[in-house]
Amino acid sequence: MSKQSPIIAPSILSADFARLGEDTAKVLAAGGDWVHYDVMDNHYVPNLTMGPMVLKALRDYGITAPIDVHLMVKPVDRIVPDFAKAGASCISFHPEASEHVDRTIGLIKDAGCQVGLVFNPATPLNWLDHVLDKLDMVLIMSVNPGFGGQKFIPEALEKLRLVRRRIDESGRAIRLEVDGGVTADNIGQIAAAGADTFVAGSAIFNAPDYQAVIKRMRETIG
Ligand SMILES: O=C(CO)[C@H](O)[C@H](O)COP(=O)(O)O
Ligand SMILES: [Fe+2]
């Protein structure tokens, strides 16, 4: 299956946490397609962010766009139903953080969400063996997880090319997402490597005009 239509998913990790609903609505009005929601537990990664209650608060505030939950937590399974109930659209997890990857995939789907598998810069792609056909998305990290505002790791480009090939060979409509250090300057080469779903946090939220950055990104990826 060839690339899906491009999606830009602003990471609200870099939003104004004191005005999260307002800033999330603002980035969507500026052209963001999805909300990328980073969940960090100070265990699997050395940082602590938001749980399901904050996600529900965003839904209650009126955010209706798809919410793309990136779980950087260990263990994974016990928090899945809470995120589904809170209003997550897609839940992605790191295979090293799950005791039973196939079971976690099933749990997320049974909870009514789309499912993604996340690859850190040093995580081998053989975690895709036997489960690729069950996934809605593969997420390639282009930074080590835990913080926004890091620099894009260029080796991620080759990984994107390899996964693009595997998705195309599978013939399935699986999204290929990239996360970490994505900017309006490098998004062109990232798209050329095969990504169709682009997470960007600091590049959007640290800019004075969200709409101008998102527009430039969209024009670059076509
Ligand atoms: O998962 C993440 C970090 O672990 C974030 O989604 C990612 O880093 C986005 O922020 P930025 O675009 O600033 O790199
Ligand atoms: Fe993320």
DSSP codes joined into one string, 99-139: S-HHHHHHHHHHTT-EEEEEE-TT--GGGGTTTGGG-SEEE
Q: Is residue 149 part of a domain?
A: yes
Q: Is residue 172 part of a domain?
A: yes
pLDDT at 1: 62
Q: Is residue 2 part of a domain?
A: no
pLDDT < 50: residue spans in the chain: none
166-to-49, 51, 114, 125, 194 alpha-carbon distances in Å: 33, 33, 19, 10, 11
> Which of 34, 37, 38, 210 maximizes ligand 1 atoms within 8 Å of its Cβ, making it the mutation to test the pocket?
38
| 194 marked as part of a ligand binding site | no
Q: Give the tens place of pLDDT for each residue, 200-214.
A: 999 999 999 999 999
Give the residue numbers spanning the domain of 11. 7-221
Structure tokens at 121: 């810069």
Q: Is the peptide bond before 75 cis (omega within 30 degrees of 0)?
A: yes
> Whose atoms come closest to the Cα of 41: which ligand?
1
pTM of the predicted model as reported, rounded to 2 decimal places? 0.98
> Which of 93, 198, 199, 205 maximizes ligand 1 atoms within 8 Å of its Cβ, making it the mutation to test the pocket?
199
Q: Is residue 69 part of a domain?
A: yes
What is the CA(197)–ligand 2 centre distance, in A? 12
ipTM: 0.98
Q: Is residue 1 part of a domain?
A: no
Mean pLDDT, the chain, rounded, equals 98
Q: Is residue 129 part of a domain?
A: yes
What's the CATH number where 94 sits? 3.20.20.70
Distance of CA 83 to the CA centre of its chain: 15
